Each structure stands twice: as C-alpha cells, then as structure tokens.
Amino acid sequence: MAKKKTEDRSAHRPADPNVMGLSAKVLEQPITETLEQNYMPYAMSVIVSRAIPEIDGFKPSHRKLLYTMYKMGLLTGARTKSANIVGQTMRLNPHGDAAIYETMVRLARGNEALLTPFVDSKGNFGKVYSRDMAYAASRYTEAKLSGICAELFRDIDKETVDFVDNYDGSMTEPTLFPTTFPNVLVSSNMGIAVGMASQICGFNLAEVCRTTSEYIKDPEFDILSTMPAPDFPTGGEIIYDAREMAEIYRTGRGSFKVRARWRHLPKENVIEIYEIPYSTTVEAIIDKAAELIKAGKLKEISDMRDETDLSGLKIAIDLKRGTDPEKLMQKLFRSTPLMDSFGCNFNILIAGYPRVMGVREILDEWTAWRTDCVKRRIFHDLTKKKEKLHLLNGLKKILLDIDKAITIIRNTEREAYVVPNLMIGFGIDQIQAEYVAEIRLRNINREYILKRVEETEALEKDIAELEDILASRRRVRKIIIDELAQVEKKYGEVRKTGIVYAHEVQEYSEQESVEDYPVTLFLSHGGYFKKITPQSLRMSGEQKYKEDDGPMQSFECTNRSELLFFTDRQQVYKSRVSDFEDGKASLLGIYLPSQLGMDEGESVLHMLCPGDYSKQLLLFFENGKAARIPMEAYATKTNRKRLTGAYSDKSPLRCVLELTEERELAVFTTEGRALVFSTALLQPKTSRTTQGVGIITLKPKYRLDYVRPLEETAIKNVSRYRVRSLPAAGALLRDEDRGEQQLSMMEE
C-alpha cells in the first residue's frame, strides 16, 4: 500500500525539462515595454494618488482619514480612541494601521505640525520639533475633528463635490473637500513622488482669507501687502528679502531662511532658545552644537541642554564669563540648524495633472474651483425647492375639492389604482399624486393644506433668488468672500513667525570672534607643528624635537592668519592658525597628519601663510623643472579643508618659494652643481597642475636638491653660475662658494 502511494505522488510531479531533453523558454521583453507596462502605472499612481496634494490642500490619505472621522460623527461628538478611527479608516485606505495613524499624528493639534490642525487630540502625539519624542500608540490616545473641519465639509452632502467608490465598492468617498478657504496655502505639505516632488509652506489662515478676498475683488491686488511671508507653527523668524519672496510668489519655486528666536537671561548668564526653524529638530541642533564644541569651535559655551517641558520648547545654553551673547548667537546661526533654509516647490495636482504654480495661479485655480462648488450647492438647493414647489402645486389643486379627493380614494377598489385615479381626477402628474396619496388621514384638513400652499410663495421667491445668483458671477463671488470673512473672524489667529528684514541682520564673521595676536610658527621635518606666543617664546629655552627630527620651517604671523600645507601627495590642506592651541618650546607640538586628517603615509613638505592670496608661488621639482603659479589658484570660496590636484604629479616636489617681487634664486643639484637665474625668466601658468619649464639640465642619476634666494647662499662668484636663459647646465660649485656646507665637511 505504501508503495502504491509513493507511485501516485511521483506521478503528479512536474517533468524536468532537462531530463525530457527539452530546454526551458526564457521570455524576452524590451526594456521600453517593461517601463511602459510595469513602471509607468506605478509612477502615475504615486503622483496622482499618493504624494502630491490637490487644490483642496489634501493628499488622498488625509482625505480618507478626515472623511471617515466625519462619517463617525466626530465633528460634534466626543473623542474616541485613535485605534477605533484607524480601524474605520481602513474601509477607505487599504494600508496598514501604522501608516494611517502616522497621518493622523501629523494632522493632530498635539503634534504642532500644522498652523490649523484638523484633529483635536488628547494624549501624547509627539512633537514636530523633536526627533526622539515618539508619539504614543493609537490605543492610548483619543481624537475628534477640530471645529475648523466644519469648513472642510460644509455642504458636502449637497453634491458640491464628486464621489467615487472606495477600493472594494462597498461605499463612496469624496474626490475633494469643498473647503471654504484656500487650505492648499494654509496647510504645509511635503511629498516625494516619482520624478517630481512638492514642498508647500504654510501661510497664516487670517492673512490667506483676507488676501483671497482682496484678490477676488481685484486680480491686480498686491498679495505681499496682506500676506507678506509664510507662517510656521514652530515660530521663529524669517530673514525677509522682498525680491526673493516676490519671486517665490511668482514662480512657486525658491527658498528663504528661517532662524530661531532666543532671549538672554543676564542673571543666570544663560541663553534660552524658545522657537526654532520648522525644518529642524531640537536634537539636530544640540548634536551639531556638541560636535562644534568637541572640535573646539564653540569655546564660549560651558553647557547646552534640552529643557523642553509641558510649557513648550526650550534649549538652554550656559555661557562662559565674558561671552557676548549676540556674537555667539550669530555664530550659532551660521554653523548650526538654528538658522535653516526652507525650499519651496508649489507642485499641485490640477485636474489630475501636476503643475508648479505661483501664489496668484493657485488663488486663480482655487477661486474657479470654489466657484464651481458654490454653484453646485446652489443648483442642488434650487432643484430641491423646485421639486417641493411642484408637489405643493399639486396639493394646491387638491385644495379646490378635498371631498372629491377623499371620494376618489374611497371609491377606488384596488390600491394600485389610487394614484392613476387622482391624476385623472385633478390633472396632476404621478409625483404629485403620490405625494397627495401619502398624506396622513389626520392631515386631510383645510388648515394643513392651506399652510402648505402658503409655502409656495416663499418657495417661488427663493427659486427666483437662487436662479439670479446662478446667473450672476458677481453674486457667487460675494458668497465666497463672505464665507472667507466668516472663517477669518472665527478661526483666524495672529502669525507666529516673525519677519526680520535681511538688511537688518548682522552677518557673523568668524574672524571677528577669534582673538588676534602675534605668534611664531614652527614646523619640523617629522610633521610636528607648534604655535608659540612671543611671551612664551621669550621665557622658553631650546626647542624640543624627537631624536631623528629637526626644524624645517619657522616664521611669524598672527592668530587670524590662514595656513596652507603642501604634502607629498599633490594635496594642499587649508587651516587657520586659530585652529591650533598655543604651545610651548618644551613640547613636541601637534602632529599635523593626525590633526589635518591626512592620508596614511602622507607627509608635509611646506607650510606657508597665503595672506590675501596676492603673491605668486614657485614650485621646484626633482626633474629640474619649475612652475610659477598665482597663489589665488589655491583660494577657495567654500570652506574646503583639502585641495586635491594641487600640483603636477610628474616629478616629486622639492621646494616651494613665495614670490612678492622679481629676484635671483640659486638652484643646487645632487651632483654639486649650482645655477643662478632671475625669476623674471619664468612665465606664470594658470593651471595648478602644470609640469613647469626646465630650469637646469640634469645628468642621469642626479636630481634637483634645493633652491634658495641668492642672498641667503654663500656664493661669492655669482657671475660663474648666473644664466640669461633657461634651461641651463649650471656650473660645479667651487669650495669658496660652498660656505657652511664646506666648513662642516672639513670639521667632520
């Protein structure tokens, strides 16, 4: 029996194509066809149904959540558990509960992500200005709709917007909300689609309503006069540039800077930051400040901590004695997210197509769309009133002879013939006859019927009024303006984000905050660097070096000076003298490869102070060539610390000299030859990586050794070594021209 079962199972196994001698077929599809059939539907779905907001200011996820809450009666009812709302929303939004709840969190008052929150929340919903403050689970929090949501759903049941089936066809949902104010500008929105994105900053509700009203009255109205800048729920201050803001309003693209608000408490010597830019978090600010403090760039701060509590955001900074709080804050604005840029990209779906629009275009589109909503509402009311008037006109005919109507109904044997008999008896249509037939017995009296008939006059007046409104563009727009005024009066608030004009802002100069004083710099062959003040240098003794190390360079400069370090890897490292701590002669100093973050095995060849980058550099290579390069070629507009490709890699660099004026130089080779030439013979090159021109011709196995200014050498017979053109062979050094080098050899 067991054997039989085994045979049966094997009979149902799929045949192996290799065993059967067949080859498996591989279906090939052109990449263009794959993109068209598979990728494009996904991309369009993300653009149209997920990431880009529409003219009502909402994405589909927002709309499904808020409409579900509206149908649950949460506009006027008490709060309910968030988990209940999330579960109900799944009937419209086929996503997991986590995604739906995250949408609710952002719309909630407690999260403070919106100037006009749509969810009245209770419990911990986190904070938009905190990265680490997590919101509580949906089973712990409660929510209902905020009062302003009445303006989102006003007359939604009067066919003001279209409805479509949900994903399984079990119910319908609105395609848009008939918002009575331009929520697309009031609610900040960000979305990343496929190949495009949207970033809409929020504006103050009262300013938007006022501006829209004025714009509807006069399309040439100056929008900036009533809505000067965006407004953010986290406050802060906008660095206002009128031309920059006008360009954003015109094109829908651009950026502006927002900075934190702070106050100084002199008694405690503490700075309190109580409002920060909308685009950052408390933790990001503190992390960046801690990084700068650790790097020694914020020496004025003794402590920095987050003191945010139930009263709101607060970052406390303890200052060291003598610190100027204004200068410190300017420094923090420049080097931390306490001042940040907000990029605008007003990309909105209009009739299913994404469009980047300026504020005027958005107001045009919203006004046209809102006009359509109002007309649809009026048409709905008009239709209902006409239907009711039609019924009452039928009832009016019955009034002429109630007894006849009762007799017709009483004498009709079958119920199905009641309506036809009334239609024949009074000359009314089926709808009117149905209405009369449904009147209750107690209402078949003259008083009831007279009261109903009296309504016809009021209905006729209402119908005429509504028809006049529908035909008048001016009256429709007046309704929109009146509704905007009501919203402004009922829900408007003063703006939270202040405006500071750009010309009033003090630009921080890092150099100004650095104390300036004279110093002497020392660099050893082993790469050890010392910065010593004159006082310390006078009091110190001999310079300390390692056994196999010794002095390579030393010169005087100031603490605010810049430094360039040329290395043997064709790289230049840029630094400031103030980046190094003051040292002493008795110490070895700072090891530059570690301090500057050099590559493994990389070593310093030369150190120089570029000043205003007006000098020129002479680079001499082992192969006997030299390059004359303007020092400004090493000046960088950005704060780059390392410059690659600083000079030619065809031959090792032997010497770097600064040139302020034409002079004579002496070149020495390992063969014992010397050559004296004027720097005027070298033409400047614009490229840093130039190979240079030949200075001295070298025999095989010999190389250029070093170069010195002529006055710093011991050469006496100058004419013997001087040349008028390059390249030249030079001449062998005589003993009397060797100077100290010859003396040292004799002593040995």
Catalytic residue set: 140
| Collapsed DSSP state (helix, strand, coil) of residue 139 | coil
* Residue 430 main-chain phi, psi, to 5 deg: -65, -40
- The DSSP output letter for 37 is I
Residue 41 CB partners (closer than 8 Å, separation 6+): none
DSSP character string of 151-179 = GTSTTGGGTSS-EEE-TTSSSEEESS---
The residue with tokens 């504006």 is 203
* Residue 520 main-chain phi, psi, to 5 deg: -115, 130
- Separation between Cα atoms, residue 210 and residue 216, nearest integer Å: 10
The residue with tokens 């430094």 is 563
Strand partners, 240: 501
Range 154-179 burial, b when 16+ CB lie within 10 A, else e: bbbebebbeeeeeeeeeeebbebbbb
Residue 393 and residue 433 in contact, taking contact as beta carbons nearer than 8 Å: no
CA dihedral for 418, 420, 424, 428, sign (positive or negative): positive
The residue with tokens 């090493």 is 634
Query: In angstroms, how far is the first alpha carbon of the chain from the final one?
Result: 107
- Separation between Cα atoms, residue 641 and residue 632, nearest integer Å: 16
- Separation between Cα atoms, residue 232 and residue 259, nearest integer Å: 12
Residue 240 CB partners (closer than 8 Å, separation 6+): 228, 229, 256, 499, 500, 501, 502
Cis peptide leading into residue 182 (ω within 30°)? no
**Element of type H or E holding 248:** helix 242-251
The residue with tokens 């500071």 is 500
Give CA angle at 671 (670, 673), nearest 5°. Answer: 100
The encoded tokens of residue 562 equal 């810049």
Dihedral through CA 46, CA 52, CA 55, CA 59, nearest 10? Answer: 70
* Residue 636 main-chain phi, psi, to 5 deg: -120, 140
Count the Cβ atoms, other than its own, within 10 Å of residue 359. 23
- Separation between Cα atoms, residue 104 and residue 69, nearest integer Å: 11
Tell me the CB-side half-sphere exposure of residue 484, using CA atoms within 13 A.
29
Residue 351 and residue 56 in contact, taking contact as beta carbons nearer than 8 Å: no
**Among 431, 436, 441, which residue's Cα sits nearest to residue 453?**
436
Residue 316 and residue 310 in contact, taking contact as beta carbons nearer than 8 Å: no
Residue 431 CB partners (closer than 8 Å, separation 6+): 390, 391, 394
Residue 624 CB partners (closer than 8 Å, separation 6+): 669, 694, 695, 696, 697, 698, 703, 704, 727
- Separation between Cα atoms, residue 451 and residue 434, nearest integer Å: 19
- Separation between Cα atoms, residue 196 and residue 445, nearest integer Å: 69
- The DSSP output letter for 739 is T
